[in-house]
Structure 1
Amino acid sequence: MEGTPFGRYQLIELLGRGGMGEVWRAHDTEIDRVVALKMLLPHFARDPDYETRFRREARAAARLDDPHIVPIYDVGEIDGRLYVTMRLINGTDLQTLINNGPLDPGRAVYIIAQIASALHTAHQAGLIHRDVKPSNILLAPNDFAYLIDFGIARATTDTALTSANTTIGTWAYMAPERFRTGESGPSSDIYALTCVLYQCLTGNLPFPGDTLEQVAVSHMMMPPPRPSQELATVPAAMDPVIATGLAKEPAQRFPTTVELAGAAHRALTYPSGPPGPSGPPGPDPAAPTQLWQQPPAPRKKRTGLILTALAAVVLLVAGGVVATAALTKDDAPTAAPTTTTSASVVPETPPFTGIYQAVFSAPTLIDGGPLDDAKPSTAMWAVRSACRPDGCVAIAERQSGDGGPPMAKLEFDRINDRWVAVALAAEKCHDIADEIWYVFTLRERPNGSLTGDYTGAAGNSCSGRSTLTFNRTTDVDVDTLPDPAELPPRVVSPAEALHGTYRSTRTFRNGVAPIQGDYTVKTDCLRTGDRCMSYFHKPEDFRPLLFTNGTWSLNSQSEGMCDGKVIKITATGQYPMPQPAQKPINLLLGHGNWEESAPCAMTSEFDETFTRTGD
């Protein structure tokens, strides 16, 4: 039997490659048998922590005696490459099977029951697998199932081994507690096996996403999906089984994997009603999940308004994990690696109706500048929309999470091709109580999600911005929400004509040299049209103007530097609406007062002209 020499082995065929190593079909020349040989990639083999964990695979598997666990033959090092050999299974991995479509429920439960037996054996021996996923489940003829890749298994008494910037496990199947604290136990394997069961039944992941951030917040926040709503062939009795297995808290899940498998079997036997799982009752899959609440991050001098943050969302295990990493982390399976795509959820009509997960990026200044201590955040919103002759409107009510504005209700209008909501909240800016203008701007996407921006701006010069995605997760009982069709029509304010780019010329009456600058302005108004915020900004300056009763008002307090010392700056002013009305407004005139504190104390009146320079 020919092949590339590797010590006593001849490497015949590469079967798979992943993030840690390669798996080869190989011939053991000493014993004269064909084996599956897994070796670490060279740069991992040089890491002593990886070496320790890789060698532990053999010790872990060698202690287990279960027909559904692939036995280990040998472990060692050849030419600086760590390797392990195991029985070669002539079959296919479960992921490849799922890629062809969902499994018949009876077949899915049969396979899961075998893996549940393997995991139960491991858990009784004090071992946790920590990477249960379809590509680590091999199927021989007649669907005889094997659980492989105990290379990341560990005893419950062992110290967890992860290197910098690395998390053990695969994101799509990781339990919430592993994202929060990095801790894992038998219940984490139960959660992962439930994810695999759901994927077998529906063909889709329970919590799909394109980035680690999206997947992490989904596992920690989104209610468990109902497989019977995803696919009509799945009995409704399977829904509470999935709900229990995917409970956010470990204590609410099934006590053992075999009890999970038993509950799934009963769901097939009694498809018309809940089977009464032997584990503790799971959460209502439709109920929102409450998150740990954290006080808002403190305001920083001249760093802007932080738009609230939920630190737990991104305190991922093995510090340093990048929240925007694509979901490609995987260890080499015995079978060739495969990719999974999941069908997008298409919203019902009318548009923008359902339960949505709102994912906010780490906020920045309006112009993109950095904010101290900024972190991503998330929230769940129930949304109901309606379209009338005067346009489409929607009402959103917060279900859980503290991402976004600190209010419980938003009213959206569809303006051109975007959904826009403007809301107010009382907060502090530079330690002074102020009114914060929160603005959502969302655009519908073909996959049913909505994406856009979320901004917060205060009349006192604080500001912040996040990118935002509204991911539709499930239907909503519209009768539980107010009817948006009963909202009064939106009033278009004349202040909305103030938009685009403007050149400011501020002339002081005490002889100080005039100040000029080029600004971009965006005006947002309440639905009633009687109040608006026009926010002039450039990288080094902000000019927030509040509009009411036909006049814009400036009233800001900020800080600056003079002679190497911090000074306080107060600016007030009035800018009347031009008469006759202009659309867009090409010239806006105002008058105000400027005051600086010591050591550069000064007080002066000023005149200001805003001249429009473009869109």
Structure 2
Amino acid sequence: MALGLSKGAQRTLVKLLAAAALIATVLGGFAACLFTLGMPGKEAEVPKAGPVLNGSFKVEIGPIATPDGKPVAGTARTETWVARSTCREGGACVATVAIIDPRKPDAPASDNLVFDYVDGDWLMVREAPDKCKVGDVEVDAQGWTIIKLKARIDGSFEGEYTWATAPPLCANKRAMALAPTRGADNSTQPPDPAAEPPLKTAPGAALRGTYVYTQTYPQTGEVFPAHTYNATTFCLRTGDRCISLMTSPDTHNLFVMIYGDGHFTANFPDGDAHCTDNIGKVRQSSRDDLPLPQGPQDPLLGLVGKSYQDYTGDCPAKVELDVTLARTGD
């Protein structure tokens, strides 16, 4: 078995790698296909009044869906939310929410959320360490939670609850329905929304629309098959970090990029591959690094960077690929 790689073997291994990178994306996608199971009710309508998220609500969060769109039994849940909102000079509106266990209405809030009114929706984005089950193994992962709510004219809300990890080992998207519980007497109240710091502009939010992802091996000029993704980016209130959910339009497989410190990065799930002699084995890891381009762009027209491929095992190697992400439409 080879301890190193000749140019020809390295080129073959890069081909293996490109396939492995795609397999890694699909593997992540298998656990992270984004399907939403609808909640019953009428279509959302834009409220006639200004944006308000106030009062007590019965919140139904729908079940997790399998990769083929079927509900997972026992994953739906019900919560009680108590919300307060305010709008500042200039039109920026913010809301705070206290989450209460409906079985323990007098207990302290189990969690507090902060929403901002963005482009007609109430939006909450949070990043925190989490757990992700891959097969029968529970692994540590960095989790992102995104909640989007749209008001109906009757005072209720409907929306989506999205959870994804980076790398994309796990993800799910769930429907939400908020029904006001008028007359409810909740002793637990959320924090004062007026005390929350203002929402900051995030440069990473400009990554949105349809993009074509291409890898090129610079030593030979070989261009690997391109892939199309629909990008939606959500950013923390501080504006310093964002998550870009890149979904393939045909399969819904998920490719996750994280923005921070002026760079978009992606870490792919590790995978196994054979050496070029078809006997030895290697463990492959892959990460992308694409810096934010100079000058203002909104939306981002494209990104250019590197993909770093590391092989460890019977035929170790390190390979760099050129990567482009080119915007093709909304």
TM-score, with length taken from structure 1 = 0.40
The answer (yes or no) to whether the contact 2:33–2:252 under 8 Å persists in 1 is no
Please tell me whether residue 437 in structure 1 is matched to residue 144 in structure 2.
Answer: yes
The answer on 1:576 being equivalent to 2:286 is no
Deviation track 1:245-290 (CA, whole Å, cap 9, x = no partner) reads: xxxxxxxxxxxxxxxxxxxxxxxxxxxxxxxxxxxxxxxxxxxxxx
- Tell me by how many angstroms 1:554 deviates: 1.6
Tell me how far apart the structure 1 counterparts of residues 145 and 39 of structure 2 sit (CA, whole Å): 25
Could you give the per-residue CA deviations for residues 113-138 of structure 1, whole angstroms, max 9, x where no partner exists?
xxxxxxxxxxxxxxxxxxxxxxxxxx
Partner of 2:267: 555
Measure how far apart 1:364 and its partner are.
3.1
- Relative to structure 1, the CA distance from residue 325 to residue 589 in structure 2 (aligned partners, 3 Å threshold; closer, same or farther) is closer
Counterpart of 1:410 in structure 2 is: 113
Deviation at 1:588, TM superposition (A): 0.8
Corresponding residue of 1:614: 329
Q: Is the contact between residue 567 and residue 597 of structure 1 (CA under 8 Å) also seen in structure 2?
A: yes
Q: CA RMSD in A?
A: 3.7
Structure 1 distance, partners of 2:166, 2:148, is: 20
Q: Displacement, 1:573? A: 2.2
Distance 2:124 2:68 in 1: 21
Say which one has the larger Rg: 1
Distance 1:541 1:559 in 2: 17
The separation in 1 between residues aligned to 2:33 and 2:143, in whole angstroms, is 11
The 8 Å contact of residues 246 and 254 in structure 2, kept in 1 or not, is answered as yes
The residue that corresponds to 1:482 in the other structure is: 191
CA gap of 1:598–1:529, structure 2 versus 1, over 3 A, is same
> Alignment partner of 1:496: what SS?
helix
Tell me the SS of whatever aligns to 1:358.
strand
1:350–1:457 distance in 2 versus 1, CA, 3 Å: closer
Kept in 2: contact 1:510–1:605 (CA 8 A): no
1:357 corresponds, among 39, 58, 61, to 58
1:467 and 2:175 matched: yes
Amino acid at match of 1:421: M
Cα distance between partner residues in 2 of 1:401 and 1:561: 50
SS in 2 for 1:543: strand
Contact preservation (8 Å) 1:364, 1:370: yes
For residues 602 and 371 of structure 1, what CA distance do their matches in structure 2 show? 42
Partners of 2:175 and 2:314 lie apart in 1 by 40
Q: Which amino acid aligns with 1:354?
A: G
Letter of the 1:577 counterpart:
L
Classify the secondary structure of the residue corresponding to 1:480. Answer: coil
Which secondary structure state, in structure 1, belongs to the residue aligned with residue 181 of structure 2? strand
Provide the C-alpha distance between the structure 1 equivalents of 2:71 and 2:306, rounded to a whole number of angstroms: 32
> What's 2:96 paired with?
395
Match of 1:383 among 54, 59, 83: 83
**Structure 2 unmatched runs, 5+:** 1-26, 42-46, 104-109
Residue pair 2:39, 2:176 contacting (<8 A) in 1 also: no
More strand by share: 2
Write the distance in 2 (CA, Å) between the matches of 1:381 and 1:576: 40
Deviation at 1:509, TM superposition (A): 4.5
**Matched residues, number:** 275
Q: CA deviation digits over 1:371-409, x for unaligned, max 9?
A: 76673222211111112224111101110169xxxx711
The equivalent residue for 1:4 is none
What is the CA-CA distance between 1:368 and the residue it aligns to? Answer: 7.0
Once the two structures are superposed, residues 180-236 of structure 1 have per-residue CA deviations (whole angstroms, 9 ceiling, x without a partner) of xxxxxxxxxxxxxxxxxxxxxxxxxxxxxxxxxxxxxxxxxxxxxxxxxxxxxxxxx
What is the correspondence of 1:274-313 to structure 2 with a 5 Å cutoff? 303-304=30-31
C-alpha contact 1:384 1:478 (8 A) present in aligned 2: no
- The aligned residue for residue 496 of structure 1 is 205
Give 1:532-551 correspondences, 5 Å limit: 532-538=242-248, 539=251, 541-551=253-263
Superposed displacement of residue 553, structure 1? 1.6
1:529 corresponds to 2:239: yes
Q: Which amino acid aligns with 1:384?
A: R
SS at the partner of 2:205? helix
Deviation readout 1:121-167 (Å, 9 max, x if unpaired): xxxxxxxxxxxxxxxxxxxxxxxxxxxxxxxxxxxxxxxxxxxxxxx
- Provide closer, same or farther for how the CA distance between residues 428 and 509 of structure 1 changes in structure 2, counting only shifts above 3 A: farther
> Which residue among 584, 587, 590 is the counterpart of 2:305?
590
Structure 1 contact 303–371 (Cα < 8 Å) conserved: no
Say if 1:506 and 1:439 are closer, same or farther in 2 by CA, change over 3 A: same
Distance in structure 2 (CA, Å) of the matches to 1:597 and 1:401: 51
The answer (yes or no) to whether the contact 2:130–2:142 under 8 Å persists in 1 is yes
Q: Cα–Cα, structure 1 residues 362 and 483, in superposed 2: closer, same or farther, change >3 Å?
A: same
Q: 1:265-324, CA deviations, whole angstroms, 9 ceiling, x for partnerless residues?
A: xxxxxxxxxxxxxxxxxxxxxxxxxxxxxxxxxxx98643699xxxxxxxxxxxxxxx98
Q: Structure 1 unaligned segments of length 5 or more: list them.
A: 1-299, 308-322, 327-345
Structure with the higher fraction of residues in helix conformation: 1
TM superposition shift of 1:413: 0.4
**What is aligned with 1:253?**
none
How far has the Cα of 1:579 moved from its partner?
0.7
Residues in 1 aligned to 2:31 and 2:314: alpha-carbon distance in whole angstroms: 25
- In 2, Cα distance between equivalents of 1:560 and 1:363: 29
Cα pair distance change 1:590/1:548, threshold 3 Å: same
CA distance in 1, matches of 2:73, 2:238: 35
C-alpha displacement of 1:432: 3.4
The amino acid that maps onto 2:116 is: D
Q: Name the SS of the counterpart of 2:31 in structure 1.
A: coil
Tell me the secondary structure at the aligned position of residue 378 of structure 1. strand
